[in-house]
Amino acid sequence: MKKTLINAILISLFLISCQSNSVNQSKILKFEIIKKQDISFLNNPRMVNRIVLKVDSLPSKQEMENTATLIWENGNKKWKEFTVFIYLPEMSTEQSAYGIGEFNESGLVKFEINERALYSSKWEIKKINEPIEQVLASDLKEYSVKISTVKEDKRKVKIIVNTNFPDETILSLNIYRIYFCKGKREAYSGELFSKDFSVKNGKIETTVNIIPDTEWYNEYQKLVKVLPNDMPPISKISDNITIDVLYTSAANQPANVIKILGVKGEFVSGKGVEKNRGGTIGLLTWLRVSKELNMTFEK
């Protein structure tokens, strides 16, 4: 009897393990490595892999992150810095990547999606005039976000966000500096701060010590040296920082907030609200509000 029970437990554990592996494997996308570049310099071993995903619809951020992690795990843990540039079918691998995964010897450091890379391609996310769901006008509500700032020190800013989004709504606060590259018309951003906050009593209030621009600037300068064909030198840096507040239905919003705003933000309307269709992600709703503040560039 005891032996039978042990066998039953072992079989159950085996089935659970197989199911777990199957789920994990299903989150890995098929891909082809197009190019490997050893961009080591001095005593800093660095490697870049450019891959093209074999997909028919726009993949989720998590799927791309899982795929990049798999590549890092398969023989690339030795690199002090390892980067995966992810492209979709028919995208030029000599241009900006849609997904960028950055790893060190311990694992994933940062994963970003660059929607600008999809512009003028078949993958560009098209804006739709109406949500997919049939929503009555009486169910819609106009929402707004207003940002005010108090500069308390040279690089210390108090940020106050007033909004009529329901309490506990998660809003993302991002602070960055805009810069331009030689021969490019697009604006790029150097990240200075990023954090999610929950609305409380119609407000978010926080004080941020803005770090110097050293991290993003030095990282870009390194890439200019090792990837001169892909990373043109910086031609202009804004004297202002941009404070950006974002509501998105893609965030992990609490159940009570989803009940009011809708699973996909279908009950959200108002000035600046956008609703886009994004492949496997489906309908996305977001509202982004930005404010510029003068703060001298500092390395």
115-135: pLDDT as tens digits: 878 877 788 765 544 444 555
Q: What total number of domains does the chain contain?
A: 2
166 and 228 part of one domain = yes
CA distance 171 to 153: 25
CA distance 205 to 156: 14
155 and 281 part of one domain = yes
- 1: pLDDT strictly greater than 70: no
145 and 285 part of one domain = yes
In a domain, 206, yes or no: yes
208-237: pLDDT as tens digits: 999 999 988 988 888 888 777 778 899 999
Q: What pLDDT is attached to residue 277? A: 63
165 and 260 part of one domain = yes
Q: What pLDDT is attached to residue 201? A: 96
In a domain, 194, yes or no: yes
140 CB-contact burial (10 Å; exposed 0-12 / middle 13-18 / buried 19+) = middle
CA distance 183 to 181: 6
Strand partners, 177: 190
263-299: pLDDT as tens digits: 889 899 999 998 876 544 567 899 999 999 999 998 8
| 79: CATH | 3.10.310.90
- 10: pLDDT strictly greater than 50: no
251 and 152 part of one domain = yes
Strand partners, 275: 285
Q: Give the range of the structural domain holding residue 221, as residue numbers without chain letter.
A: 137-294
10's tokens: 């072992």
* Band of residue 137 on the pLDDT scale cut at 50, 70, 90: low
